[in-house]
Amino acid sequence: MSELEIKKVETPRDRMKFIKMPWPIYKNDPHWVPPIIADQKSFLDPRKGVFFEHGEAVLFLALRDGKPVGRISAQINHLHDKIYNDGKGFFGFFECENNQETANLLFKHAEDYLKSKGKTLSEGPMNFGIYDEIGVLIDGFDTDPYVLNVHNPPYYKSLIEGAGYSKSVDWYAYRGSTDQKVDERLYRLKDRVMHQPGLTIRKINPKENFERDAAIVKHIFSEAWNKNWGHVPLTESEFNRMAKELTRLVIPDLSFIAEINGKAIGFALSIYDANVAVKKINGRLFPFGFIKLLLNLKKTDRFRHILMGILEEYRLRGIEIAFYVNIAEWAHKLGFKEIEMSLIVENNEPMRKSLEHLPVHIYKTYRIFKKELK
């Protein structure tokens, strides 16, 4: 009988094993996109990672006869605690061989840690926070994930449920072809919207006035998303990290800020699907991966509409429709073939209703699970 053990990750060497553990799981999966190893090293390092400014985490590796076959994180988010005080702890970075014993042992160690911190509920996966990579893919395994979304084997759902977890909430990814025509009624609606006194919509250009527009996006994001499921405001460090990542990927012609009499009241942000390029470097930026990444980044004909926010007092004015029509028009002109709009939580009815008027459909579902700790 092979020996199974769980090891707490405590050294840089162990962290590298934790990072590289998934490669064997996906060796025959054509749709997996490896993470960039250098980014993972920094993100998971307690001395460097932005999460550790307001949270604490432990990482566990499952070893079978000394070989890594699974991993999990368990984390406490002190900002979440201040807002909700709901007894939640979180798990993340879950990867595992198709073996219930291995999964159960990983979850036991993660849950024991959370209980030792006084938590009464385990929820996840989140890597580490709500605006990092989240969820387990439960539907839509036959296509590559878009940038900053996850991909996993179909059996993960069964392993997690087998460890005593049930559904907490689902998130959807919508996909559409830019060749499909937008309903003509939306163009007429956009024309009426744009006649509102003082309303203008301009493109975001990260090469010009970056700090001004980044501050606008941060403010609107914090205000517009504060009632979304699980929302925890980004810290300055977290926002700066996100801005640094997205600045390299943002598509100026498909990203907009709406203003009324000069006051910014909404934004829409679209980014290149960098996964098309990242897949070619197999997670390694060095020695030549960075060059390959740059060469391939803007060759993709796929893009992700990743964020949209409108201040509450300016909603229900059709501004999101104006954003959608602008994106559809320019995407076709720029030669993009496919758009993903994600992730949208299942209880965001206004957003999902507005998407019913567009030529997009749900094609991937991501699930967050929960379990009471006793």
Q: Are residues 262 and 341 in the same domain?
A: yes
User: For residues 159 and 95, what is the distance between their CA atoms, to the nearest angstrom?
Assistant: 10
State the pLDDT at residue 7: 97
Biggest CA pair distance of the chain: 75
Q: Are residues 148 and 186 in the same domain?
A: no
Expressed as residue numbers, the domain containing 132 is: 4-170
User: For residues 322 and 338, what is the distance between their CA atoms, to the nearest angstrom?
Assistant: 19
* pLDDT interval class at 235 (50, 70, 90): very high
Mean pLDDT of 286-307: 72
Q: Are residues 207 and 269 in the same domain?
A: yes
pTM above 0.85, yes or no: yes
Residues 6+ apart with CB under 8 A from 161: 369
Six token digits for residue 266: 């909404």
* pLDDT interval class at 247 (50, 70, 90): confident
Which of 131, 148, 170 marks a domain boundary? 170
Closest to 350 (Cα-Cα) out of 305, 311, 314, 320: 320
Q: Which residue has tokens 């509450």? A: 312
State the pLDDT at residue 1: 52
Q: What is the pLDDT of residues 154-181, one digit of tens each?
A: 999 999 999 999 999 999 999 999 888 7
Residues 6+ apart with CB under 8 A from 235: 50, 53, 54, 79
Q: Is 90 exceeded by the pLDDT of residue 319? A: yes
User: For residues 180 and 44, what is the distance between their CA atoms, to the nearest angstrom?
Assistant: 41
Whether residue 288 is contained in a domain is answered as: yes
Mean pLDDT of 345-371: 93
Single-letter amino acid code for the residue at 5? E
Q: Are residues 147 and 50 in the same domain?
A: yes
Q: What is the pLDDT of residues 320-350, one digit of tens each?
A: 999 999 999 899 899 999 999 999 999 999 8
Q: Are residues 84 and 115 in the same domain?
A: yes
User: For residues 367 and 123, what is the distance between their CA atoms, to the nearest angstrom?
Assistant: 11
Q: Are residues 100 and 212 in the same domain?
A: no
Beta pairing class for 302-310 and 338-345: parallel
Q: Are residues 190 and 108 in the same domain?
A: no
Q: Are residues 196 and 123 in the same domain?
A: no
* DSSP symbols for 220-277: HHHHHTTTSTT--PPPHHHHHHHHHHHHTTB-GGG-EEEEETTEEEEEEEEEE-THHH
Cβ count near 66 (within 10 Å): 9
Q: What are phi and psi of 250, to 5 degrees?
A: -65, 145
Which of 170, 189, 218 marks a domain boundary? 170
Beta pairing class for 88-96 and 121-124: parallel
Which of 170, 192, 222 marks a domain boundary? 170
Q: Are residues 23 and 75 in the same domain?
A: yes
* pLDDT interval class at 51 (50, 70, 90): very high
Q: Are residues 119 and 255 in the same domain?
A: no
Structural domain count, the chain:
2
Compute the CA torsion angle 204, 207, 212, 213 (nearest 10 deg). Answer: 20
Compute the CA torsion angle 314, 318, 324, 325 (nearest 10 deg). Answer: -130
Whether residue 372 is contained in a domain is answered as: no
Closest to 328 (Cα-Cα) out of 358, 349, 308, 307: 358
State the pLDDT at residue 292: 59
145 and 275 in contact (C-beta within 8 Å)?
A: yes
What is the percentage of the chain residues whose pLDDT exceeds 70? 96
- CATH number of domain containing 319: 3.40.630.30
Closest to 274 (Cα-Cα) out of 137, 145, 153, 364: 145
